[in-house]
Amino acid sequence: MKPPAVGYARAGDVQEVVAMLVEHGTDAKVLAGGQSLVPMLSFRQIRPSFLVDINRVEALDFVRDEGESLLLGATTRQRDVETSPVAAAAVPLLPELLGHVGHVTNRNRGTVGGSLAHADPAAELPTLVTALGGELLVEGPRGPRTVAADDFFVAPHRTSMGFDEVLTAVRLPRLPAGTGVAIQQIARRHGDLAVVGVLAAVRLGPDGAINLVRLAASGVGPVPVRLHAVEAALTGVVPTTEVLDAAAEAVSAAVRPPDDIHAPASYRRDMACLLLKRAVGAALRRSEVSA
């Protein structure tokens, strides 16, 4: 199908984006890389009356090392982040994680902000910002504000941003040296959205016990799920096979996966448990003992 007729304007800076969103109200949508929005328009799943194109807002296209964190501008192409040495130095998982986002051609167009604002519960960047406890930088008519990842994702394809707000950047905390990070996911085909996935970051202390752990799962609920209870169970413990088995069991209680044509809820739950073990195991192999 073809998209319906829709109004369109290209914004030059963030103030102009916000002004256009205010002017056109709840029927306007922000257009960035268009890798999700344009197919949805063509399928007529959504019928916005107006598109605000932010592709030429150059101030939002950047990869910035802030020392304690990495700041990625909303219109930065996913492929640019994937191949950025600055991004890889601050968040070493990024190239591998972005390799799971569609295909290279999608990532050449697709933006960091677009994936986050689209808020698919199975998508990789929302899972990463959830796992790391990152922040989303949002701008609206009342000025800029910062939203914690846990407060940003509300429901499938819904965020806590107002209709007149635009995502400008995402802040990903840098994990301490020696932390191993890994992502494990199951997709029906290469490049498809994951059916279920788990992201794990783990660091071991000199006594062999875990002294830092961050866990999030995708595709197992309305939003990416930070696995706080499982993190608590693993903190301060030497990660033996028995400990990981028990942690995987705990995942089962922490997720409420959906049923759909690609997989029943029970399969997603079982695979989340399995992938937790694999992701923590892979993260452990990448970690280095910290002093």
Partner 1 sequence: MLVDGQLAGGLAQAMGGALLEELVYDEDGRLHTGSFRDYLLPTASDIPPFRFFHQETPAPDIPGGMKGVGEAGTIAGVSLVASAIDDALRDHGVTVTRFPVTPPRLLAQIREAAGKGGAR
Residues contributing to the site for partner 1 (CB under 8 A):
39, 43, 103, 186, 188-192, 261-264, 267, 270
Least distance between partner 1 and beta carbon 45 (Å): 10
Least distance between partner 1 and beta carbon 279 (Å): 18
Question: Nearer to partner 1 by C-beta: 64 or 157?
Answer: 157
At 254, is the secondary structure helix, strand, or coil? Answer: helix
**Cα–Cα distance between 240 and 243 in angstroms, integer?**
5
Least distance between partner 1 and beta carbon 103 (Å): 8
Least distance between partner 1 and beta carbon 220 (Å): 14
In our burial notation (b when 16+ CB lie closer than 10 A, e otherwise), range 51-80 reads bbbbbebeebbebeeeeebbbbbbbbbbbb
Question: Nearer to partner 1 by C-beta: 7 or 39?
Answer: 39
Least distance between partner 1 and beta carbon 46 (Å): 15
Question: Nearer to partner 1 by C-beta: 25 or 264?
Answer: 264
Question: Nearer to partner 1 by C-beta: 44 or 142?
Answer: 44
Across the strands, what pairs with 234?
Answer: none
Alpha helices, DSSP H, located in 124-256: 124-132, 149-152, 228-234, 241-254
Nearest to 60 by CA among 136, 163, 165, 167: 167
Question: Nearer to partner 1 by C-beta: 63 or 98?
Answer: 98
Question: Nearer to partner 1 by C-beta: 73 or 219?
Answer: 219
Least distance between partner 1 and beta carbon 194 (Å): 12
Question: Nearer to partner 1 by C-beta: 190 or 291?
Answer: 190
List the structure tokens of 279.
């992701």
Nearest to 166 by CA among 279, 56, 1, 19: 19
What distance, in Å, lies between the first and last C-alpha atoms of the chain?
59
Nearest to 257 by CA among 223, 228, 219, 226: 219
How many Å is the maximal CA-CA distance in the chain?
63
At 177, is the secondary structure helix, strand, or coil? Answer: coil
Least distance between partner 1 and beta carbon 189 (Å): 5
Please give the order of strands across the beta sheet that includes 196-204. Answer: 180-186, 196-204, 210-218, 225-226
AA letter at 183: I
